A and B are shown apart, each in its own frame.
Chain A
């Protein structure tokens, strides 16, 4: 239940800092995949995120779990970035600091905005191939082999490196961080912070203004027509249910429903 809309009507952005300072479940799985590569084949892992200062916490967590570096891209001028600009900002960091990277691993979609767009767009910005919703990866010499199950197809793909993978929400169950690890994590001061100028962006950069999309309104779906009560004969109320909410139901089912069966006879 949302009691207060985390929506800033002045700037037209969602106030993400109101969300908890916990690593997103999708990112945890991405990190787990990276940790497993490091453990079996060796790797340098850099955990990077873009967000408000409090997002630093999740980088501490990532380092405690085994990431070798933690970088926070943070600047008021980055606030309000849509996926187009978020992926741009992330790509600038990678190009500047990790020019010879092999693999970028992302969660498939975050639990807040759930767009699933940053991964593919980051790959485009870096001009590298990408495979989404991956269940299993194995890194070879100059390629990565990935398995996934998408749109009812089971696929095994080989991708040239450098490349980008997004990890499916069902794969790479994340490990727990032991309490002592948490304490250690916060002793570790080595989180780098980079701002707009540190990425070589213009001083006048303004993600909110420069994003191609703009949020014009946000509303709560449950506050409208709340608590519709249907009563009467069972047949009648069920017809009413499908007449009024058929679209909601068919969308969740992922199946097409006929609106009025008697029209089609």
Chain B
């Protein structure tokens, strides 16, 4: 066994905070994991004027924070940040490093793992500690059709990236205290080989149904054109796209662009929500790549209900309104 402190590190990814809460979510899970291993939960914060984040991470479960606060770190630089995190890990030898799977994290974590000579599991949907005290990294594989459990038996640290929204953040506790280690930037920081010319904050462009993580499909069971339109309100709440069956398109409740199935579109969402659809083969053939299907139909014997992971026996329109109401209460702004 390699010598290692039992620290679990969480990379402090604070760009787009307050919307980006992945660091807080991972901290919460790290607290659970540490209760199994007896380790300490630590956050690593790199940047300029980062006091706010240091305090936030302690309030959300970090017992210790490694911080580098320097004007030279004011840009989110992949090259610099990955070198610094690698250097810190070599010095302090954490047992585990967890990174949020933002685009930045997805680029940085592989480079850090490579520099450290250790393994990395991408986009974990769960993390556990096994009986040997190893981190079990649970991640989708094979296009999301399978889930793999992965370990890093020998090399350290054990590393994983975690998708935003995977874990629930803990409520903040501003009474919590933590050790703060302020570190100065190393002298030998290499010159950045990438220069940022332009950086503009632009919210994501509109997604297409083929690429959407959540697709909400409606059938004739929605009742009417007016009621079908409610699916668009639900979609707006869930960052989802709306799809439709052939009869709905023919009835002109919605444009042809929304047609899912034969002569329409194939989709591969993480979640498909199916409202009032019986499940003709022309439609269901396009759904084989959906990871998780929630179907709502009055008829429990409909094909669509049989092929769903969760089948809700209810009126599609009422369920749509009910889910919207529940989401409005649950979404944190």
- A residues touching B (Cβ–Cβ < 8 Å)? 1-2, 5-7, 14, 82-84, 87, 111-121, 123-125, 128-133, 145, 149-160, 163, 169-170, 211-222, 225-231, 234-235, 237-239, 241-242, 244-259, 261, 264
**Complexed CA–CA distance, A220 and B142 (Å):** 10
User: Which chain A positions have C-beta within 8 A of B202?
Assistant: 149, 152-154
User: Closest residue to B154 on the A side, CB-wise?
Assistant: A212
Q: Are B300 and A229 in contact (CB under 8 A)?
A: yes
Return A71 CB to nearest CB of chain B, in Å.
22
B199 at the interface (CB under 8 A from A): yes
User: Closest residue to B333 on the A side, CB-wise?
Assistant: A255
Question: 18 interchain pairs (CB within 8 A)?
Answer: A113-B122, A116-B122, A121-B113, A145-B197, A151-B16, A156-B196, A211-B119, A212-B155, A216-B149, A228-B311, A230-B311, A237-B313, A248-B270, A251-B164, A251-B270, A252-B238, A255-B332, A261-B329
Q: Are A238 and B198 in contact (CB under 8 A)?
A: no
**Complexed CA–CA distance, A218 and B146 (Å):** 7
B36 at the interface (CB under 8 A from A): no
B312 at the interface (CB under 8 A from A): yes
**Complexed CA–CA distance, A214 and B270 (Å):** 25
Main secondary structure, interface of B, reads: mixed
Q: Are A216 and B103 in contact (CB under 8 A)?
A: no
User: Which chain B positions have C-beta within 8 A of A219?
Assistant: 146-147, 149
Return B80 CB to nearest CB of chain A, in Å.
11
User: Which chain B positions have C-beta within 8 A of A153?
Assistant: 15, 199-202
User: Closest residue to B118 on the A side, CB-wise?
Assistant: A212
B180 at the interface (CB under 8 A from A): no
User: Which chain A positions have C-beta within 8 A of B115?
Assistant: 124
B203 at the interface (CB under 8 A from A): yes
User: Which chain A positions have C-beta within 8 A of B72?
Assistant: none
| A-B contacts besides A230-B313, A257-B331, 12 pairs, CB < 8 Å | A5-B146, A14-B141, A121-B114, A130-B78, A130-B107, A154-B199, A155-B198, A216-B150, A219-B149, A227-B306, A241-B312, A251-B164
